[in-house]
Amino acid sequence: MDRGTAALKSHLANCEQMEIRQTRRGALKELLGGEAKTEFKYFVGSDQIATSLEDTDCCCRVFCNSCHAFKMAVKELNTEADIVTVDRSFACCGPCCKCCSYQEATFTSGQDKIGTIKEQCWCCVPKFVIYDEEDKPMYKLHQPTCCGGMCVNCSAEGNPCGKGCCKESFRIYDPELADTDGDAPYLGKILKKPIDVMTEIATDAQTFIVDFPKEATPAQKGALIGTSIVLNAVFFEG
């Protein structure tokens, strides 16, 4: 799977973890009912390597916030070389059960398609499958569960009334696992971690930590970065 730009390969070839920080912009606008364009900064360790800014219509962000179509290009800092681009199509969102209107997005790097993400049919626990450029499953993705896989495990990342407060994770699994094996050892995860109380209350700015699977290629890591952007749009905006 040797696909993607030189910028994608140079930054992600040996990268084990990435922090994605959403810029705190438009707090007053959001409190008044508006919605600023989503902007992220990307860090490997303490070094910022890239930025991205959502390209979408203002009316779509306001009236169809969690399901609006958008394109977002993650560009290398200073050079603006393309690392990965997310192209999400419009699809209506459901609350706690999904039997139609599945969320989808395509990930590219330069002229190369590196993957797609497609929402699966679910009840209570959101489920996704990430596919490669040939539409073959690469990973399964869902939140940690309890009660035999029927509910989201709110304490999986720590005590929700203590250090685990406001932490939410989506875990990355082998695509060959059956749905009944959903809480088998996972390969990596995308963790939404809390920032500070005022940021959580006054804005929808988020920070994500992506722990990449050990054997992931740069293209697969690029698809997981794109997945983080999609998860933010579906579950954490608004």
Cα separation, 198 vs 196, in Å, equals 6
- The per-residue pLDDT for 151 is 86
Amino acid 94: pLDDT: 56
Q: Determine the Cα–Cα distance for residues 229 and 126; give it in Å rounded to an integer.
A: 16
- pLDDT tens, position by position, for the chain (238 residues)? 578 999 999 999 999 999 999 987 555 555 555 567 789 999 999 999 999 998 766 655 555 556 678 899 999 999 999 999 999 886 666 555 556 678 899 999 999 999 999 999 888 888 999 999 999 999 999 999 888 777 888 888 887 777 767 789 999 999 987 665 556 789 999 999 887 555 555 555 789 999 999 999 999 999 999 999 999 988 887 6
- The answer to whether 199 and 205 have CB atoms below 8 angstroms apart is yes
Please give the pLDDT value at position 156.
85
Alpha carbon separation from 83 to 10, 12, 97, 129 (Å, rounded) = 10, 9, 34, 22
Give the model's pLDDT for residue 92: 65
Q: Which domains does the chain have, with CATH numbers?
A: 6-236 (3.20.90)
pLDDT score for 111: 92
8 A C-beta contact, residue 129 and residue 175: yes
H helical segments located in the chain: 6-12, 27-31, 58-63, 197-202, 218-231
Residue 43, pLDDT score: 97
